Amino acid sequence: MLNDAERRALRRALEIAADPAVPLGPNPRVGCVLLDAHGRVLAEGHHRGAGTAHAEADALNRAAPPLIGATAVVTLEPCTHVGRTGPCADALIAAGVGRVIIARRDPNPIATGGIERLRAAGIDVELDIPVDLAAAAAALNRGWEHGLQHGRPLVTAKIALTLDGRAAAADGTSQWITGQAAREEVHQLRTTCDTVLVGAGTARADHPSLTARRGDGTLHHRQPVRAVMGTGHFPPLPGGAGEAIPLRTHDPSAALAELFDRGLRHVLLEGGPTLAAVFLRAELVDELIVHLAPTLLGGGRGGIGDLGITTIADRLDLDLTDVTPLTSPDGRTDLRLTLRPRTT
């Protein structure tokens, strides 16, 4: 069980692990805070990307010895493997740390084993973490963990719909279906993914920038890679933001494989109904976010393209995991629905 100082330290470790200057993949984001016997912070550190010091080593390097009996609070199990840097578990043992609090076990079979190594060295290891902090630690590296398990990026599809399921009016106009709050949330969502993907048709028709912007129009510090999937001609994406990648294929598996090989671990689909349908038919959507507007069109383009479903028995069911109202300054309230395709 964690005391107040340890809970504060874990919150801080999660905060620094999520530093917007740190790339989202292919390495995990990790934070570490060192405490003395009285719960005072000795040092903190975090991983800054491939080839840089791990969080534990970063914190140890910033702390003044001796550290005998100190507590290390880390967001991910200290590693045991030798790569570009040495094993973090061994570094903690060598420093004389007496207690290690771990928010999440490492799912990487190459790196796991730090808990056992620390305990074998006589160090007290605490894994009993408050539910909210454990959830935050899990969310911190969703894409990275998904990549370890599935060998492809995590895919989140985002669509905006009217109550009658329309994404655009009969004349093709679609700005703006949702209110300001929902639109601003989309830009925030882009900062949590390392890739935004649209189809070539959307690129040709809308000339999207696919940048992550604040409410005042300025760019967020973290910008996603911007990918366009399809063949034929499509215009280059505007410069001045994240890298732009053309994916010359109509195959969603091939597109994800190329992004994964580039070290990208979380893809946000923001294309039109056709792109969403392509990924849904291929069973490659892991999460669906729907911004549902309290308005009706009665006609126009549907939000999802043809899924090849001809009978109700073959419908694609989803599990609703969250419903959140999004209220704009003008008083308009949209709903954000978060869903996952049902697997059983």
C-alpha Rg value of the chain to the nearest Å? 23
Catalytic (active-site) positions = 56
**Which sequence spans correspond to the domains of the chain?**
4-140, 145-341
Single-letter residue type at 300: G
Give Cα 42 to chain centroid, integer Å.
Answer: 30
* Main-chain dihedrals φ then ψ at residue 45, nearest 5 degrees: -155, 165
Domains 4-140 and 145-341 share a fold: no
Give Cα 166 to chain centroid, integer Å.
Answer: 28
| C-alpha distance from residue 8 to each of 28, 171, 337 (Å) | 22, 54, 31
Out of 3.90.230.10, 3.40.50.300, 3.40.430.10, 3.90.420.10, select the CATH number for domain 145-341: 3.40.430.10
Output the pLDDT for position 302: 86
Enter the pTM of the model.
0.89
Q: Which helix (H) or strand (E) element contains residue 161? A: strand 154-162
CB 155, CB 286: distance < 8 Å: yes
CB 167, CB 301: distance < 8 Å: yes
Single-letter residue type at 301: R
Q: Which helix (H) or strand (E) element contains residue 124? A: strand 124-126
* Main-chain dihedrals φ then ψ at residue 273, nearest 5 degrees: -60, -35
CB 148, CB 31: distance < 8 Å: no
**Average pLDDT by consecutive 10-residue portion of the chain (344 residues)?**
94 94 86 96 92 92 93 96 83 96 93 93 96 95 94 96 87 79 91 91 80 82 89 76 88 97 95 90 95 89 88 92 94 94 80
Q: State the fold for domain 4-140.
A: Cytidine Deaminase; domain 2 (3.40.140)
Output the pLDDT for position 344: 66
